[in-house]
Amino acid sequence: MGGAAITYGITGSVAAAAVVATIGASVGYYAAAYLAAVRAAYRAQLASSRVSRALTANGRALRSVAIEFGPAEVIDSLIIRPLAFYFGPILFGGMVAGWIFAKLVADVGFYALAIFSYERFNGSLVVRRNSEEVPREPAAAVAAA
């Protein structure tokens, strides 16, 4: 939200700030999810060489993140989040209250869609190893939580 505030301060444009907020939220979220999925996939292939493990882990992580979050991200980034960040300040009469509202609305929409993808395509996701204390769950979802 810092980038959005700076953009709004420089341009005075709610629309430009909404675009920057959408991009910033996506980059931060997916960096954590992707790295967690890469680590989990890399650790799952102990018998392969480092280069092979790295290539396979990145490919599996990319596939996993795309399956789990891709449809939700497309709808969120193109429709829900920009509209929420644009209309939130208008509805609440101020940037801070409007952006807090927008963040909540956009996150609820995104997670509702992501849960659907997770439930539908669970078998195609990179998962963390089983342990007695930690249930089996997608590595990307663990990082994003």
pLDDT at 129: 55
The residue to which tokens 């609440």 are assigned:
92
What pTM value is reported for the model? 0.64
Closest CA to 139 of 74, 60, 70, 75: 60
pLDDT at 46: 82
pLDDT at 111: 92
Torsions phi, psi of 72, nearest 5? Answer: -65, -40
The tens digit of pLDDT for each residue in 120-130 reads 887 767 665 55
Tell me the pLDDT band of 134, cut-offs 50, 70 and 90: very low
pLDDT at 55: 93
The tens digit of pLDDT for each residue in 61-119 reads 998 888 888 899 899 988 998 899 889 999 999 888 998 999 899 999 999 999 998 88
Contacts of 131 by beta carbon, 8 Å cutoff, 6+ apart:
none
